[in-house]
Structure 1
Amino acid sequence: MSLATTWFVVVAVFWVGFFVLEGFDFGVGVLHRFLGRNEGERRQAIEAIGPVWDGNEVWLIVGGAAIFAAFPDWYATWFSAGYLALMLVLVALILRGISFEWRTKLDGARWRSTFTWTMVVGSALTPLLLGVALGDLLAGLPIDSSAEFTGGFVDLLTPYGLLLGVTLLVLCLVHGATFLALRTDGAVRQRAHGFARRAVWLALVLVVVWAVWTVTISDGGPWRIAAACVSPVAAAVAVVLLREQRDGRSFAATAVTIGGVVGALFANLYPTVMVSSTSAANDLTVSGAASGDYALKVMTVVALVMLPVVLLYQGWSYWVFRRRVTLPTAGAHAG
């Protein structure tokens, strides 16, 4: 396997890791307003992700940086095409960040309500917009022979991209609900169970439709079809496990479902990195968009040294904060 192909796989792993880890953060960010019926319960939900949410966002930064360094042509075309959408993603991430930090700085009901809703909006917009952007890679955008995006904002709203955006948003909600069921107790846990049991059916339908559509618009082949089938099977398993209220296994099933969607997208995209709807001759390919051999070799050495460190640190942080979060006592502040 060439270095360019290796780094395409690495980029895919980064994006899978981002949605598996940050996906439940997004889900909790949206659901805390609705599953928590009072301030204490909302703070309980937020505290469940408080120690890990910012670390999980590192995967998005690393994923974007890996594309920039390993596939500069892909980065230039994709990010310039989605410039406005990217700005919206950054705004959504900023809204989430300040909501975590500022929500409990004052005790006023209006203050808390403002940052409750900014967290909800930011947490919902981010997976939706990123899903549309990822779907556009396979659905195709108007790209000319110079690898320049020739369309407008409306061209970014491809039907397939919109489906993937909605699918990832719903999966984040289910993933977040299973995380709350795993990490909280009391009323929040019971409501999270109830929501997940209902919403997982919608997730299953969306994933099945997405999988069929993905295989239809790609070149097909047994391994592409197999990759697309992972998520529907995992979603069906999640349906069964949620009915039995097996918290850990349900969370693992939703993790495989959302990770399988992102992984299958990249599997069906290969050997291209960005499809041109103008002409197949204008497609950006893994080999054509990659950096030189020397740059890829240096990146490989750095990744081999740093990636295990990042994984060990994140694994340690999850182990330290593995206990269930109880309802905060009166006067306590969220972390």
Structure 2
Amino acid sequence: MAIIITSALPALLWGVAFANIVKGVPLEKASSGSIEYVGGFFNLLNPYALLGGLVTLSVFYTHGAVFLALKTAGGIRDRANSIAKVSGLVAAVAAVSFLLWTNLMLDAFDLTVVSLSALVAIFWVTGMAMNLKRREGWAFIFSAVTIATFVSTLFFALYPRVMPSSLGSQYDLTITNASSTDYTLKVMTVVALIMTPLVLIYQGWTYWVFRKRISASQIADPERGVLDMVSHTLHQ
């Protein structure tokens, strides 16, 4: 139960945080001249933010179920496919509602945001269709692309702001007033150019090593886990 809760909470709070960033939070200039948050904890648990949390929770849950179906065989694969069908539908309804709400909140019609929102829906429906056909590889790719497009939609909805203030645009944090110094940006660019390819290579190698499906038939005693065997050994 603990691992379920600690896995679900970050997925939920990730959406809550991003939704609050898009919607705007109470920011104002302090006496020191810096922009500070002046709201309370429950300001962050508004309906729009909670809907955003439901979106990310259901999308990540479905993404995980699709990956589980991709990497397993037999009964586990069947159950993961069934779970993805249901959670994928929940995610679709939540995401459409959230993106519609997001577009209605914008100060003016933004063709880029509308187009990206439509792409999110197209990619997700395509991924779920692939899951129904038990083509989990394509389903996983399309769900991953959906997540990337969804995040891009939120960033385009924000630009050039990075965190709007609900108390007035004069308190908004933008890419200009919230940016680091030129020296810091140069250092981080160099670090990113070096480290990003290394991370991608490592992740690619990891996926290649674990590219095959696994099933209970490959486990000597599938009914007993590692902790069961340790406990049995200690009590002998």
Query: How would you bin the TM-score normalised by the shorter chain?
Result: 0.7 to 0.9
Matched, 1:179 2:179: no
Output aligned runs, 1:38-187, within 5 Å: 117-145=1-29, 146-187=34-75
1:329 maps to amino acid: A
Matched, 1:324 2:208: no
Pick 1 or 2: higher relative contact order, CA cutoff 8 A, min separation 6.
1
Q: Secondary structure at the match of 1:273?
A: strand
Give 5+ residue unaligned stretches, structure 1: 1-116
Partners of 1:238 and 1:316 lie apart in 2 by: 24
Output aligned runs, 1:13-28, within 5 Å: none
Deviation at 1:291, TM superposition (A): 0.9
Structure ID, larger Rg: 2
- CA offsets 1:47-70 (integer angstroms, 9 cap, x no match): xxxxxxxxxxxxxxxxxxxxxxxx
Give 5+ residue unaligned stretches, structure 2: 228-236
Matched, 1:236 2:120: no
Partners of 1:120 and 1:135 lie apart in 2 by: 23
- CA offsets 1:288-307 (integer angstroms, 9 cap, x no match): 10011121112111211111
- Cα RMSD (Å) of the superposition? 1.5
| Other-structure match for 2:100 | 212
| Among candidates 203, 223, 226, match of residue 333 of structure 1 | 226
- CA offsets 1:136-184 (integer angstroms, 9 cap, x no match): 1011111112411111101111222111111000011111111111001
Q: Secondary structure at the match of 2:28?
A: coil
Partners of 1:127 and 1:230 lie apart in 2 by: 22
Partners of 2:19 and 2:207 lie apart in 1 by: 31
Partners of 2:86 and 2:204 lie apart in 1 by: 31
Residue correspondences, number: 218
Partners of 1:217 and 1:252 lie apart in 2 by: 30
1:301 maps to amino acid: V
Partners of 2:98 and 2:124 lie apart in 1 by: 13
Q: Secondary structure at the match of 1:148?
A: strand
Q: Secondary structure at the match of 1:185?
A: coil
| Other-structure match for 1:257 | 146
1:247 maps to amino acid: E
* Structure with greater helix percent: 1
Matched, 1:203 2:91: yes
Contact 1:214 1:228 in 2 (8 A): no
1:126 maps to amino acid: P
Deviation at 1:332, TM superposition (A): 5.6
